[in-house]
Amino acid sequence: MKSHYRAVVIGGGVVGASVLYHLARFGWTDVALIERAELTAGSTWHAAAGFHALNADPNVAALQDYTIKLYREIEAESGLDAGLHMTGGVNMASDPARWEWLKSAWAVFQSVGIETARLVSPEEIKEICPIVDVSDVLGGLYDSNEGHLDPYGTTHAYAGAARKRGADVILRNRVLDLKPRADGGWDVLTEQGMVVAEHVVNAGGLWAKQLGRMAGVDLPVTPMEHHYFVTEDIPEVAALDRELGLAVDLDGFAYLRQERKGVLLGIYEQNPKHWNMDGAPWDYGIELIPEDIDRISPELSRAYERFPCLATAGIKKWVNGAFTFTPDGNPIVGPVRGLRNYWVACGVMAGFSQGGGVGKSLAEWMIHGEPRADIFGMDIARYGAFAANRCYLKQTTRQFYSRRFVMTFPNERLPAGRPLKRPGAYDGMTAAGCEWTASWGLEIPAYFAPMDFRENTTLKRSNAFDIVGDEALQVRRAAGLVDTSAFSRYAVSGSGAEAWLDRLFASRLPKPGQAKLAPMLGHDGRLKGDLTVFNWDGGNYWIMGSYYLREFHMRWFEAHAAEGATVTDISDAMSGFLVTGPHARAVLARTTHQDVSAEALPFMACGEFDIGMVRARVARLSIAGELGFEVNCPASMHATLRETLLTAGEDLGLAEIGFYALNALRLEKSFGIWSREFTQGYTPGQTGLDRFIAFGKDGFIGREAALREREAGGSRQHLVTLEVDALDADASGFEPVWHNGRRIGFVTSGGYGYTVGKSLALALVERDFAREGTALSVHIVGVERPARIIPASPYDPQGKAMRQ
């Protein structure tokens, strides 16, 4: 062990070994892995070690595909056998809704370039896995790029390949403490002495919680128990001339693969159990937890029905081991805000599906400043400090585990960890029939319904379709009131505020009393935000964006801090409402003595107004494509502001609406939103945000890269608006777009446009096919439907309504 390293990876499981390998592969050879015991000691050694590319997040699915394709490479590079069994695998459906869900998932696979998957019949499933009972099976999703491997061999292959590239692997040496250094590095105190590291990576697995607390951060991860068993030889398996394919009974919560001449069967039970929520004991290693068969007996009974030969099979070994989980089941990866050069790669419960992608993305981030893929679904910044709360973490991880094989729907609103944060007018809106959804712990209005209404979860149009439509149409005909608590707000002040903002954003800054849409770019020219900048009085600025990106954006702001500029997250201190629709001005005028006419407060203007008893900051903005006023107030006055506006608009048709209706309205205007049309994986040229860039302005972050894209003729993909000949379902995102059988793009978001009476979608398509009128097709819930490119903004294309 040397005294200094450029990076130290703490943890010798498959994830830590992958991070070490990728750091060395991408050019950092002065790196070391430090493990308290032996490689794989913890969760890795007892893993069932199956792998698959299927994931609800398409970006994560693409990284899982990368992981699988990497195994042959590390075997060849290390000279070590990973025990790779490329058997293929099938996810089965015995429920009609599940079969629709699998067909929809197959379409998403096409969008992310995973072309090894295909839909299969029950008869084909029987060929793939001859011991399965398919009497009630409707079909399945088969992927030839699935299988299983040896967890010990795979981890050693990663480590061996890293060693060949110059990395050190240090075993039987526990990390005792971590201390930040003034130069940004870390003193890593180990049992064998002190190591100075420029960067530290927490890949601690079951011990990630303790390693986080050494650095002063409480990570939202917790271990949970997971069962599988291995059988004695089974005659039906021993008689086969080829290996069984991996079989997943999604409706039965079980997975099965071959193990020698028997099988391995694992369960994701509906009654999960946490284990040592503060992390494993330091002396825990190559050990197991006593099995708890009674707790998993309902799922076991279903598995025995699905695989009848288990009834006469002897059980050779039970495994009940601990794995770490996060609230949504995806890993937490990336730099921790406020801790310089401290990185995490934790909560990777599917390490043999995701470990390669995690290692690749984190190494790119550390070396180049950004990962190549959009991995926000893995980014630790998707969580705030609230997510590490014991009660919240226990509820959400339990929910995820029990739903591991349960279908998820676009309109689903899950209960765990809710309600946590509530807007000031929560009680009043609830009494008015608000149906709530949640984002980053905050309750957000979905729509308003009769008190006895219950929405059906579905991939198609739900029974809330007409309710949402009535809200959208009310905005077009009169006015709607929308709670905007779910907008983030940042106050920027100081003598250097203007210069800092000018460098941060690619647009020109607004003049005093104005607001401006402001793209924010990374150094590689890809997007970091689609934000709005407000210049309230010439030296007092706000930035507004999406509430769930608060940690993400504050991390970026702080990483690019400048002297004389102070940024404060005021999102929990400020709140507000949007009044939008043709009667919006009349509503607002009744609440204030000040002039809110088009001449006094034109489009994109902002200022301070008395709205009833509330001193508010008001801006003329439009999300719905109608006349709109965003009224911002202290959170403590939120309920008062709501009552003031509702009273003023009572006879003007003002109705409370939710974000479902707002989504339909913005689609009719072809307005993009973050995480759909705009992500850190896309460039301004792809998304149309380049029209807001001031290319003549010097010095803003990402300018050179954005200029290169423009000078090269623009992006190879363009964002277009589609009209879809839909039946009873609309696009939701990541569905493939086809032109005469060739995949030329994918949907970014979709829904129904109630004003125009059309099913609409926004899509990124190849530039050569982006002409208006081009006939295309789109998969909607797994069914290919005709579509065509229409002019942007099918409602009010001239934008007259919002500028009146």
Token digits for 613? Answer: 């008893």
Write down the domain spans for the chain.
4-332+342-365, 716-803
pLDDT tens digits, one per residue of 288-314: 999 999 999 999 999 999 999 999 999
User: Which is nearest to 424 in space by CA: 577, 638, 645?
Assistant: 638
Task: Flag the least confident range among 112-116, 596-600, 730-734.
Answer: 112-116
Task: Answer yes or no: is pLDDT of 57 > 80.
Answer: no
Task: Answer yes or no: is pLDDT of 531 > 80.
Answer: yes
What local confidence, expressed as pLDDT, does residue 408 receive?
86
pLDDT, average across residues 724-747: 96
Task: Answer yes or no: is pLDDT of 55 > 80.
Answer: no
What local confidence, expressed as pLDDT, does residue 279 receive?
92
| Percent with pLDDT over 70 in the chain | 100
CA 333/CA 406 separation, integer angstroms:
25
Those residues whose C-beta lies under 8 Å from the C-beta of residue 87, and which sit 6 or more positions away, are 146, 147, 148, 243, 244, 245, 246, 257, 258
CA 615/CA 637 separation, integer angstroms:
9
Task: Answer yes or no: is pLDDT of 260 > 90.
Answer: yes
| Percent with pLDDT over 90 in the chain | 95
Is 765 strand, coil or helix?
strand
CATH architecture of 716-803: Beta Barrel (2.40)
Task: Answer yes or no: is pLDDT of 539 > 90.
Answer: no
Name the more confident of 61 and 488. Answer: 488
User: Which is nearest to 631 in space by CA: 582, 583, 576, 572?
Assistant: 576
What local confidence, expressed as pLDDT, does residue 730 receive?
98
Token digits for 437? Answer: 């959804």
CA 659/CA 668 separation, integer angstroms:
14
Task: Answer yes or no: is pLDDT of 680 > 80.
Answer: yes
Is 101 strand, coil or helix?
helix
pLDDT tens digits, one per residue of 366-378: 999 999 999 999 9
What local confidence, expressed as pLDDT, does residue 54 receive?
75
CA 163/CA 150 separation, integer angstroms:
20
Task: Answer yes or no: is pLDDT of 56 > 90.
Answer: no
Backbone conformation region of residue 663, classed left if phi is above 0, alpha if psi is from -120 to 50, else beta? alpha
Average pLDDT, the chain: 96
pLDDT bin (cut points 50, 70, 90) of residue 343 is very high
Task: Answer yes or no: is pLDDT of 58 > 90.
Answer: no
What local confidence, expressed as pLDDT, does residue 318 receive?
97
Task: Answer yes or no: is pLDDT of 114 > 90.
Answer: no
Task: Answer yes or no: is pLDDT of 479 > 90.
Answer: yes
Task: Answer yes or no: is pLDDT of 115 > 90.
Answer: no
Pairing of strands 50-51, 31-34: unpaired
- Domain 716-803 in the same topology as domain 4-332+342-365: no
Quickly list DSSP for 238-293: HT-SSPPPEEEETTTTEEEEEETTEEEEEE--SS--B--TT---TT--S--PPP-G
pLDDT, average across residues 40-68: 89
**Distance, CA of 782 to chain centre:** 22
76 to each of 26, 32, 157, 273, 534, how far by Cα in Å?
A: 17, 22, 9, 40, 56
Task: Answer yes or no: is pLDDT of 660 > 80.
Answer: yes
Pairing of strands 193-202, 342-346: parallel
Helix, strand, coil in percent for the chain, rounding step 5: 30, 30, 40
User: Which is nearest to 720 in space by CA: 681, 755, 749, 680?
Assistant: 749
**What's phi and psi for 290, nearest 5 deg?**
-55, 140
pLDDT tens digits, one per residue of 572-617: 999 999 999 999 999 999 999 999 999 999 999 999 999 999 999 9
pLDDT tens digits, one per residue of 385-420: 999 999 999 999 999 999 999 888 989 999 999 999
Domain 4-332+342-365 has CATH 3.50.50.60: yes
What local confidence, expressed as pLDDT, does residue 600 receive?
97
Strand-pair partners of 340: none
Quickly list DSSP for 26-47: TT--SEEEE-SSSTTTTTGGG-
